[in-house]
C-alpha cells in the first residue's frame, strides 16, 4: 500500500479550511490549477471524492469530512511534539459534533452526552439551532447527529434516520400549594397556564384534551424554549405544562411539585443521523447506551 503524500494532504487541508480553491491557492502561493491537480491525486489515492461543488461553493463529502478530521490530527502533530518536549503534553482527541434544537431540554441533552463528558480523549462540539438549519448541517456532514423532539419524515430516498432515545411523560407542575388535590382537567377552568408554543407536539395533544373537555384555558405565556419555560415555572403562580425531566432539579428541591400527569401525552426524544459509509464510533456507542437505557424503562 502506498503512503499518503503529505503535500497533497496539506493542500486538501488548506482548501477544506478556506472553503475556497481560490483563497487556498493565494494563501499557498500556488495556481488554482496546480492545487486542483494535487487534490485530484489525493482523491484518486483514497478512492473517494473529497469535495462536491454546490453552486459556487466547495462542500466536503462524508469522506472529505473524515479526511479533514485526520488531517487536523496530523498537522497538530508538530505542535504536540513541541508541547511534549516542553513538558506540556497534549492528548489526541476524537471529535463528536452534536446539533440540538434550541428548544430541547438541557437535562435531556446532558443525559445523552454524559458518557462522553469529562473524557480527556473526546472533544464535544454542541451547536444549537432550529430544525431546518441543523438538518442542513447534518446533510453537509457539519454535525454528526441532531437531537430533536420530532422525527424527520422517512421515505425511500432520504438518508436520514430517526433513533428513538427516550419517551417522557408530560405533567402539570407548579409551586407547592396547600388545599385539595388538583383535579384534571376541571381545575384548568380557573388556573392560568404556561404552555409550550403551538409548534410543540405535546401542546397540540394537550389542546385536543382540553377541547374535548370543553375547557378554554387562561394562558399566561406560550414559550418555545424549554429553558425559559422552566424559569417561568419557578417564578409564576400559574400551572406549567412540561415534561418532568425539564424541571427535574426543581422537583427534587421542592421548588416545584407535580400536580398531575397528562394521560396519553408523552414527549419523544430522537437522535437524527445521516446514513454514512463511515459512521462515528463515538456516536454508535452513545446510541447503544441510550437505547439500552430506554429498553430498561
Q: Summarize pLDDT for 240-296 with one digit per residue, the tens.
A: 999 998 999 999 999 999 999 998 899 999 999 998 877 888 899 999 998 887 665
pLDDT of the residue at 71: 86
- Right CATH number for 169-266 from 3.40.50.1970, 3.40.50.1980, 3.40.190.290, 1.10.10.10? 3.40.190.290
Where along the chain do its domains lie?
6-84, 92-166+270-296, 169-266
3-state helix, strand, coil in the chain (%, to 5): 45, 25, 30
Q: Give the 3-state secondary structure of residue 56.
A: coil
Rg (C-alpha) for the chain, rounded Å, is 25
Q: What is the DSSP string of 217-280?
A: -EEEEEES-HHHHHHHHHH-SSEEEE-GGGGHHHHHHTSSEEEEEEEEEEEEEEEEEE--SS--
Per CATH, 6-84 and 169-266 having the same topology is answered: no
Q: What letter would DSSP give residue 141?
A: T
Length of the chain: 297
Domain covering 6-84 in this structure, CATH number = 1.10.10.10
> What is the full per-residue pLDDT of the chain (297 aa) written as tens digits?
467 888 888 899 999 988 888 888 888 888 889 899 999 999 998 889 999 888 778 889 988 988 888 888 787 766 666 665 666 555 566 889 999 998 888 888 999 999 998 888 888 999 999 999 999 999 888 899 999 988 998 776 778 999 999 898 999 999 998 888 899 999 999 999 999 988 888 999 999 999 999 999 999 999 988 889 999 999 998 999 999 989 999 999 999 999 999 988 999 999 999 988 778 888 999 999 988 876 654
Can you tell me the distance from the alpha carbon of 145 to that of 181, in angstroms, rounded to the nearest whole number?
Answer: 43
Bridge partners of 270, per DSSP, are 148, 164
Task: Note the pLDDT of residue 1.
Answer: 43
pLDDT given at position 83: 64
In the CATH scheme, what architecture does the domain 92-166+270-296 have?
3-Layer(aba) Sandwich (3.40)
CA–CA distance, 187 with 170 (Å, rounded to integer): 17
pLDDT of residue 185: 93
Residue 103 confidence (pLDDT): 81
Q: Which pLDDT belongs to residue 88?
A: 58
Spatial CA neighbour of 240 closest among 108, 5, 226, 151: 226
Take residue 110 and report the three cell numbers written for it: 446532558
Of 151, 152, 166, 95, the residue nearest 124 (C-alpha): 95
Amino acid at each position: 500500500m502506498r503512503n499518503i503524500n503529505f503535500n497533497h494532504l496539506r493542500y486538501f487541508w488548506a482548501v477544506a479550511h478556506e472553503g475556497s480553491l481560490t483563497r487556498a491557492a493565494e494563501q499557498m502561493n500556488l495556481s488554482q490549477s496546480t492545487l486542483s491537480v494535487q487534490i485530484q491525486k489525493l482523491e484518486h489515492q483514497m478512492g473517494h471524492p473529497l469535495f462536491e461543488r454546490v453552486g459556487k461553493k466547495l462542500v466536503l463529502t462524508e469522506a472529505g469530512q473524515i479526511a479533514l478530521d485526520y488531517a487536523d490530527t496530523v498537522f497538530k502533530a508538530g505542535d504536540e511534539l513541541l508541547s511534549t518536549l516542553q513538558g506540556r503534553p497534549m492528548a489526541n482527541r476524537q471529535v463528536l459534533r452534536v446539533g440540538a434544537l434550541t428548544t430541547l431540554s438541557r437535562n435531556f441533552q446532558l443525559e445523552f452526552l454524559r458518557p462522553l463528558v469529562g473524557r480527556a480523549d473526546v472533544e464535544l462540539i454542541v451547536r444549537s439551532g432550529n430544525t431546518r438549519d441543523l438538518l442542513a448541517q447534518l446533510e453537509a456532514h457539519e454535525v454528526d447527529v441532531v437531537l430533536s423532539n420530532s422525527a424527520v419524515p422517512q421515505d425511500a430516498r432520504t438518508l436520514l434516520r430517526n433513533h428513538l432515545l427516550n419517551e417522557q411523560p408530560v405533567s402539570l407542575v407548579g409551586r407547592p400549594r396547600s388545599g385539595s388535590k388538583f383535579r384534571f382537567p376541571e381545575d384548568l377552568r380557573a388556573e392560568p397556564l404556561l404552555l409550550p408554543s403551538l409548534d410543540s407536539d405535546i401542546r397540540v395533544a394537550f389542546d385536543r384534551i382540553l377541547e374535548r373537555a370543553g375547557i378554554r384555558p387562561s394562558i399566561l405565556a406560550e414559550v418555545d424554549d424549554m429553558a425559559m419555560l422552566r424559569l417561568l415555572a419557578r417564578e409564576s403562580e400559574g400551572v406549567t405544562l412540561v415534561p418532568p425531566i425539564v424541571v427535574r432539579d426543581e422537583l427534587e428541591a421542592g421548588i416545584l411539585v407535580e400536580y398531575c400527569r397528562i394521560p396519553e401525552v408523552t414527549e419523544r426524544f430522537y437522535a437524527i443521523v445521516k446514513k454514512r459509509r463511515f459512521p462515528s464510533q463515538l456516536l454508535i456507542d452513545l446510541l447503544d447506551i441510550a437505547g439500552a437505557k430506554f429498553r430498561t424503562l
